[in-house]
Chains A and B, each alone.
Chain A
């Protein structure tokens, strides 16, 4: 079975400035996205995430490299018929209403009138914008635009959905809604490729991730393989004790009123702290063991570079 998306040795450089100077953006990207998974594409700003996606879509032409979508060359119409794309900070034709907008994109896929109408009303329901169907897009809020953008990406019932920063600029509720839709897409058997730098969200929904820094993929694999389950440290918040009594037990952090935040790296020291609190009649407010998160991994990798 062909991979949903396969990229081999992708290179791209731009000539920028008044006196053109060559800048290499992508330096040999290779990755493979399997059918039915949610693939996270992580990287700091300017790492080349959007450039990669634009290469896949044929918006920019790579200097070198091969890309395939379900075994088809990435620019063939057959391949494009199977993909949906939501750009970063989507701007759409603001003079169109939501319905007209989806109708226009439906026409580009040569959908039949009845099929198109059914799809549009289904999508408007999915993204919760049935009531705004006849509202011009210029009156839409940021979150609504993101949702209508997602709807246009799904108008052709794509097998592969490419989402560029789908959670950027949204409030927590908006992020949850988009996340839920992405999970639902996976349940429907679609493959999702999403780029982001909001790591918590990626961690929550992605099966596999690739981390790109400076145009190179430096880590790639299943999330559980990349992130170890080892406890890194324990955060203890306590009160009723003096600062000097805690010396040597952990990294002392901050005080809010009476409360002290302590970062403890060795497990045996936790017991000591608990005993100390008991004898001094202090109080433990919280005790949270922190395992490695994607953020730790990401920050570690990016700092190394």
Chain B
């Protein structure tokens, strides 16, 4: 109940922040811009709209998660609002979870809005509602929840600018680390293989949440991949949140 109160307050704070609308505006522009790109394409135009649209959703969603996630906890500490909040009968754990869920809820609303624009744009071309897109969007949302937890973790001990850089690095590394997986198969064995394997285990692999190609090109998706990605998302997010709570639990608010 207390977590819900904090989450709702976080949501109120987030939706009264102008930066959110700026990002939403750019996301909408980018989705609609895909229509222009489609004009330049030979072949299936709708595929370009789907491709660019989903990419915009993912990118701007991540920017929202990072920019808001890194400032929300920090702002509470910086503006000292956390003093009165933690003097009430709440645990620090509840505070952090409230922040997380508030932000995830905000992202849910934002992703829904963007998806609405996106699906409407496709509808004008195909006169069909492409429900399959929602599968890709669902996993984008899962990825955003993970990025949010990372942003919150960093903002527990660092300034918004540094946290944003760290979180952005996490996002970029996460989307490039699949190269390591390919490398593991190429290396014959020995210390190098073990090292790359260890590195790959610890680095995030956000490509696990990427079902864009499959959805856009209507390729079959095996259920086991969906299950794996879901479990990966849930456990990775829980792991990061646990780290954040460990950092936050013993922190002095001077």
A contact residues, range:
20 to 34
Residues of A within 8 A of B87 (CB): 57-59, 80, 83, 85, 162
Residues of B within 8 A of A59 (CB): 82-83, 86-87, 252-253
Of the stretches B8-16, B32-40, B120-128, the one at the interface is: B8-16
B contact residues, range:
20 to 34
Q: A81 at interface (Cβ–Cβ under 8 A)?
A: yes
Residues of B within 8 A of A89 (CB): 80
Residues of B within 8 A of A54 (CB): 83, 253-254
Contact call B12/A80, Cβ cutoff below 8 A:
no
With both chains docked as a complex, state the minimum distance between the C-beta of A211 and any C-beta of chain B, in angstroms. Answer: 23
How many contacts A-B (CB < 8 Å)? 74
Q: A252 at interface (Cβ–Cβ under 8 A)?
A: no
Contact call A93/B9, Cβ cutoff below 8 A:
yes
Q: Which residue of B lies closest to A91 (CB)?
A: B79
Contact call B81/A93, Cβ cutoff below 8 A:
yes
Q: Which residue of A lies closest to B92 (CB)?
A: A58
Q: Which residue of A lies closest to B9 (CB)?
A: A104
With both chains docked as a complex, state the minimum distance between the C-beta of B29 and any C-beta of chain A, in angstroms. Answer: 26
Contact call A80/B89, Cβ cutoff below 8 A:
yes
With both chains docked as a complex, state the minimum distance between the C-beta of B7 and any C-beta of chain A, in angstroms. Answer: 11
Please report the C-alpha to C-alpha distance between residue A177 and residue B12 in the assembled complex, in whole angstroms: 32
A sample of 6 inter-chain contacts (CB < 8 A) reads A57-B83, A86-B84, A95-B12, A104-B5, A107-B1, A110-B1
Known A-B contacts: A59-B253, A60-B252. Give 4 more (CB < 8 A). Answer: A81-B89, A90-B84, A104-B9, A109-B88
**Residues on A facing B (Cβ under 8 Å):** 14, 54, 57-61, 77, 80-81, 83, 85-87, 89-93, 95-96, 100, 104-105, 107-110, 149, 152-153, 156, 162
**Residues on B facing A (Cβ under 8 Å):** 1-2, 5-6, 9, 12-13, 16, 79-90, 250, 252-254
